Amino acid sequence: MIETIVGETGTQTTLGYLLEIGHDDGGARCHLDVTEAHTNRHGVLHGGIATTVLDNAMGATSSLTVDDTGRTPFQTISLTTQFLAPAFLGKRVTAVARVTGGGRSLLFLAAELHDEDGRLIASATGVFKRARTEQTQ
C-alpha cells in the first residue's frame, strides 16, 4: 500500500514536497509542485531544490531497505547531480530512487527527476550510510 508522508521534517514543510513509500519496486518517490518559491532568477526550478528532492528520495529509499516505514535515518555521504533540462513553474516534478549496490555499511543509489510530461530534468547518484540514532557530545 502506498503511503504519502507530508510535513514530517522542517525541510519538507518549507519546500512542500510529498514523500511516497510503499511502491512495489521498493523505491521512494518525492513529488514537488514547482511554485515561484522554488524558482531561480530565470524562472525555473532552482538546482539546489532539485538536488534536495533527489536526495530525499534516495535517503528514504535507503531507509526502506531496513525499515518498511521509511523512517530509519540514513545520512548522505556523497551526492552528485546532473542537470539536464529546466523544470517550469506550475509543473509537478517527481524523483524516483533505486538502490544500485552496497553492503553492510554503505548503500549506493541512483535517482531521476522527471516533470509531469515525462521529461528528464536531473539525475543523481549518491552514497548513503545508516545514521546513528544516539547523539554524542
Nearby residues of 50 by Cβ (< 8 Å), 6 or more positions away: 81, 83, 87, 93, 113, 121, 122
The domain segmentation of the chain, as residue ranges, is 3-130
pLDDT at 98: 97
Q: CB burial class (10 A; 0-12, 13-18, 19+) of residue 11?
A: exposed
pLDDT at 119: 98
Instruction: Say what the pTM is.
Output: 0.94
Q: List, run by run, the mean pLDDT of 10-residue segments along the chain (137 residues).
A: 92 96 94 98 98 97 92 95 98 98 94 98 97 69
Domain at 3-130: CATH code: 3.10.129.10
